[in-house]
Structure 1
């Protein structure tokens, strides 16, 4: 399956990529190589092979989900410079650039 220029334009728009015309050919070749690899994967016979959830047959020992720390919101609020409605208020660090 070869990617068309129309497909490439749609992909670039969806991925918010810059429209560098000089890179169209390279990008199309890379996407076509990925699509060719996917086609190769589709050809693999997986009959009788159980799906894997994890590549290793390991079991994770998880601890019980229980609260161990007391609710310390008031202690944190006491040391915060500005704290309002359970939120830390901080100075603006990102400018909109306008």
Structure 2
């Protein structure tokens, strides 16, 4: 078997797999909740905008990292506040 046919076979296998991926959520998952539908555009849009409009100088990585970290901070703070509330047996002090 020559290398050209091996590459072609691998590519065909990858294309079949990639063609199945968009259909997987339709056959396996529950419908998305309204909270998920409202949260998905900002969650995907922030890193996309940061990547598209990041400056060309050395700050590009910092801008991308900041955009992604900005998505992780609110859930982490919320989880910490809930944990503190559970451990203290009371409400969340504001």
TM-score, normalised to structure 2, is 0.29
| Larger Rg computed on CA atoms | 1
Greater share of strand: 1
Q: Answer 1 or 2: higher relative contact order, Cα 8 Å, separation at least 6.
A: 1
Greater share of helix: 2
